[in-house]
Amino acid sequence: MRRLLSGNEAIAEGALAAGCNFFAGYPITPSSEIMHYMARELPKRGGVFIQAEDELAAVNMVIGASLAGAKAMTATSGPGFSLMQEGIGYAVMVEAPIIVVNVMRVGPATGQATKPAQGDIMQARWGRHGDQYLVSLAPSTPQESFELTIEAFNIAEELRVPVMLLIDEFIAHGREIVVSKRIAAKYRRTVMGEGEEPFNSMNPKIAPPLPELGSGKYLLITGSTHDGRGYRDVHNFETHFNLVRRLKDKVVLNLDKLFMYEVHGDEEPDVLFISYGSTARSAKEAVNILRSRGVKAKLIRLKTLWPIDIELIKRLGGNPRAVIVPEQNLGQLIIDVERIYNPFEHRVMGYNKVGGGIPIYSSELVEEALKVLSCGG
Amino acid sequence: MKERSVCLIGSGGQGVVFAATMLANALFARGLYVAQLQNYGAEVRGGSVMAYVVFSESEVVNPFINSFDVLIVLHDFNVSSWAKYLKYTDLVIADDLLVSKYLHRAIKAPLFRKALEGGLAGRESVVALGFLAGLNVVGKDDLKNALMDARDFEQNVKALEIGYELALQMRLRELQEFSSEKALSDSRERRA
């Protein structure tokens, strides 16, 4: 079906298409439309919608529902995302497949409510204490918001890991054409069989199975270090080390499957843009303009912000004279890009602009690229 | 058909986002690719609001633009934020009562006064939509169809007609280089 939808509506549609049947949330602009949509649509489909008393309750309800067998999601924005960190860390530890949508707005704190930004991408990755690995995705159109939401549910279910879906207010409130498709196969978590344990997996790439509610099997859940059966063990080195290493491995060993991207432009570029989300759309147009002026240019757009395949980016990017990383923050993804392109050997520069709801325009990126290239080096 | 764009600037409560939504829906119903974006603050009323629609026959690669084919200013509250948009846009239409800043390049139009006279205060954005139809940016009937999904259909249609007539009276049609209806019929011929 072809419709004119906002990014928020597209996410809600994607969640429903993926089989989401539980949503708990606390309203916050610019994410509230997701909640409105789910409040209206979920009860019609036999799902459950709860307006929680706050974000902490919302994320914990989602974890509980997920472990009880639901496909569960919540949505918030920066201030609510900060409140949810404790729950997200817990979800990593108990391996609850949950989806947390963060419609990024200008921060820190209340910031400029509710202007767009891309300032939470490092928080999504590292915002909690302890070693923890999860997946974060960043769509750049309402159409992709629909598609990556489905993908997020599949990843969460398959790897028993929280998936962060990061969009900014431009995409969330911007309306564009979305073609929704029926999803043939929805990935579902593995159900625990005889002799299997809910927190143990022989293959580090594969997440352990979960017992089905009502099957008579026990599921012990604790945020403390636990063994394969779920029993607390807060003394032994091996138990903890094996657990956190397995939690890391199931994400990083599936890098080839999790790292999604789009490449646009010349094979061997002189100027390479690396970007994501709404900003990547200006970068894409900038690449087109530069190429029409005879400059070899390329864009690598990341759909997955974590985990990142830095070797693949290095291979795709070639040997550019300049690397520009446009972001609606003061420079976050560029930290990763500098792991790929050594700033002592390459010209690696951010193009940063945030606040007031003013996007990064393609003309600015073209100007920046031409300026850098004309400087030599 | 080249990519086209229309921008509306006003104050919270004037219906700027509503008008952009109706415009986007009307163009979408015509089979065009549409991208609608807006910028506003946390206020319900009184804040500065900007909304725009980019439309084309093919997919809009990048909707983040800072110059438009037509820009209508309904209120000059904090309009300095959008000074660049006003500078880069060729055809700027400004309400003759509520806008006094940045008027040097704008064509004055009594959008708000006409709405008031018709007993339709607060619907000046719908008058602006009618005005756009009068400029041939969008079909009047397409707008009417779009408004059927919204509240107060009759009053909105009245506002639409007022704006349409105003544009015809002001003979601005000649100023407009493009006509989306014409472009559409051309392209339909090409496709056939």
Per-residue confidence (pLDDT) for residue B178, from 0 to 100: 46
Mean pLDDT of B163-190: 61
User: Residue B38 is inside which H or E element, if any?
Assistant: strand B33-40
Q: Which residue of B has its CA nearest to A359?
A: B64
Edge-to-edge strand ranges of the sheet holding A322-327: A261-265, A297-302, A271-276, A322-327, A347-352
Residue A207 lies in a domain: no
Cβ contact B34–A285 (<8 Å):
no
Per-residue confidence (pLDDT) for residue A346, from 0 to 100: 87
Q: Is A77 on the interface with B (CB under 8 A)?
A: no
Per-residue confidence (pLDDT) for residue B171, from 0 to 100: 75
Per-residue confidence (pLDDT) for residue B21, from 0 to 100: 98
Q: Are the C-beta atoms of residues B163 and B114 closer than 8 Å to each other?
A: yes
Q: What's the rounded Cα separation, in Å, for the pair B160 and A307?
A: 52
Q: Are A170 and A271 within one domain? A: no
Q: Are A37 and A150 within one domain? A: yes
Residue B45 CB neighbours (<10 A) = 8
Q: What's the rounded Cα separation, in Å, for the pair A177 and A21?
A: 25
Residue A48 lies in a domain: yes
Per cent of chain B over pLDDT 70 is 89
Contacts of B49 (CB under 8 A, 6+ apart): B9, B10, B11, B12, B14, B16, B17, B38, B39, B40
Q: Are the C-beta atoms of residues A282 and A333 closer than 8 Å to each other?
A: no
Tens digits of per-residue pLDDT, A79-123? 999 999 999 999 999 999 999 999 999 999 999 988 999 999 999
Beta-bridge partner residues of A112: none
Chain B residue numbers touching A113 (CB-CB < 8 A) = 41-42
Cβ contact B64–A356 (<8 Å):
no
- What secondary structure letter does DSSP report for B106? P
Interface of A with B in 86-115 (CB under 8 A): 112-115
Cβ contact B37–A170 (<8 Å):
yes
Question: Which residue shows structure tokens 């990519």?
Answer: B3
Res A377 pLDDT > 90: no
Q: What's the rounded Cα separation, in Å, for the pair A86 and A59?
A: 9
B104 versus B182: the higher-pLDDT residue is B104
The boundaries of the domain holding residue A163 are 2-179
This prediction's pTM: 0.94
Interface of A with B in 260-289 (CB under 8 A): 278, 281-282, 284-285, 288
Cβ contact A281–B36 (<8 Å):
no
Q: What's the rounded Cα separation, in Å, for the pair B69 and B23?
A: 14
Q: What is the CATH number of the domain that holds A126?
A: 3.40.50.970
Last residue of a domain, one of A149, A179, A209: A179
- List C-alpha distances in Å: A365 to A115, A331, A368, B192: 21, 15, 5, 39
- List C-alpha distances in Å: A217 to A196, A198, A250, B71: 11, 10, 24, 65
**Site from B61, B66, B82, B88 to mutate, A interface, most A CB atoms within 10 angstroms:** B61
Side chain identity at residue B145, one-letter code: N
Q: What is the CATH number of the domain that holds A340?
A: 3.40.50.920
Cβ contact A361–B41 (<8 Å):
no
User: Residue B55 is inside which H or E element, if any?
Assistant: strand B48-56
User: Using 50, 70 and 90 to split pLDDT, how confident is the model at B84?
Assistant: confident
Cβ contact B61–A284 (<8 Å):
yes
Structure tokens at B55: 């439309």
Cis bond upstream, residue A279 (ω within 30): no
Contacts of B43 (CB under 8 A, 6+ apart): B12
Cβ contact B35–A360 (<8 Å):
no
Chain A residue numbers touching B65 (CB-CB < 8 A) = 361
**Site from A115, A175, A262, A351 to mutate, B interface, most B CB atoms within 10 angstroms:** A175
Tens digits of per-residue pLDDT, B109-136? 999 999 999 999 999 999 999 999 999 9
Question: Which residue shows structure tokens 């916050």?
Answer: A28
Number of residues written out for chain A: 377
Per-chain mean pLDDT for chain B:
88
Res B190 pLDDT > 50: no
Chain A residue numbers touching B64 (CB-CB < 8 A) = 170, 278, 281-282, 359-362
Beta-bridge partner residues of A276: A302
DSSP, residue by residue, B148-171: TTSS-HHHHHHHHHHHHHHHHHTT
Mean pLDDT of A195-215: 93
Least confident stretch, A277-286, A321-330, B167-176? B167-176
Structure tokens at A330: 């003061």
Residue A203 lies in a domain: no
User: Using 50, 70 and 90 to split pLDDT, how confident is the model at B191?
Assistant: very low
Strands (E), chain A: 2-6, 22-25, 48-51, 72-77, 98-104, 135-137, 163-168, 175-179, 261-265, 271-276, 297-302, 304-306, 322-327, 347-352
User: Using 50, 70 and 90 to split pLDDT, how confident is the model at A375?
Assistant: confident
Range B4-191 classified under CATH 3.20.10.10: no
Q: Which residue of A has its CA nearest to B35?
A: A176
**Site from B16, B36, B37 to mutate, A interface, most A CB atoms within 10 angstroms:** B37
Of A29, A278, A361, the CB nearest to B66: A361
Of B28, B42, B61, the CB nearest to A281: B61
B41 versus B52: the higher-pLDDT residue is B52
Half-sphere exposure of B131 (CA within 13 A, CB side): 30
Tens digits of per-residue pLDDT, A238-280? 999 999 999 999 999 999 999 999 999 999 999 999 999 999 9
Tens digits of per-residue pLDDT, A122-175? 999 999 999 989 999 999 999 999 999 999 999 999 999 999 999 999 999 999
A360 min Cα distance to partner chain B (Å):
8
User: Using 50, 70 and 90 to split pLDDT, how confident is the model at A63?
Assistant: very high
- What secondary structure letter does DSSP report for A113? T
Beta-bridge partner residues of B107: B93
Q: Are the C-beta atoms of residues A171 and A280 closer than 8 Å to each other?
A: no
Chain B residue numbers touching A177 (CB-CB < 8 A) = 28, 33-34, 59
Residue A201 lies in a domain: no
Number of residues written out for chain B: 192
B190 min Cα distance to partner chain A (Å):
23
Per-chain mean pLDDT for chain A:
95
Q: Are A160 and A304 within one domain? A: no
Chain B residue numbers touching A357 (CB-CB < 8 A) = 39-40
Structure tokens at A225: 């270090």
Mean pLDDT of B179-192: 40
Last residue of a domain, one of A157, A179, A201: A179
B34 min Cα distance to partner chain A (Å):
6
Residue A20 lies in a domain: yes
DSSP, residue by residue, A177-244: EEE----S----PPBP-TT--TT--SSTTSPPPBPPTTSS------SS-B-TT--B-SS-HHHHHHHH
Tens digits of per-residue pLDDT, B58-81? 999 999 999 999 999 999 988 888
Contacts across the A-B interface (CB distance below 8 Å): 61
User: Using 50, 70 and 90 to split pLDDT, how confident is the model at B179?
Assistant: very low
Chain B residue numbers touching A281 (CB-CB < 8 A) = 61-64
Chain A residue numbers touching B30 (CB-CB < 8 A) = none
**Site from A176, A273, A360 to mutate, B interface, most B CB atoms within 10 angstroms:** A176
> Domains in chain A: how many in total?
2
Q: Which residue of A has its CA nearest to B82?
A: A358
Res A72 pLDDT > 60: yes
Per-domain residue ranges for chain B?
4-191
Cβ contact A281–B62 (<8 Å):
yes
Provide φ and ψ at A142, rounded to 5°: -60, -40
B16 min Cα distance to partner chain A (Å):
14
Cβ contact B39–A278 (<8 Å):
no
**Site from B64, B65, B84 to mutate, A interface, most A CB atoms within 10 angstroms:** B64
Q: Is A362 on the interface with B (CB under 8 A)?
A: yes
Q: Are A150 and A269 within one domain? A: no
Q: What's the rounded Cα separation, in Å, for the pair B38 and A280?
A: 19
Tens digits of per-residue pLDDT, A6-42? 999 999 999 999 999 999 999 999 999 999 999 999 9
Last residue of a domain, one of A155, A179, A203: A179
Distance of CA A335 to the CA centre of its chain: 17
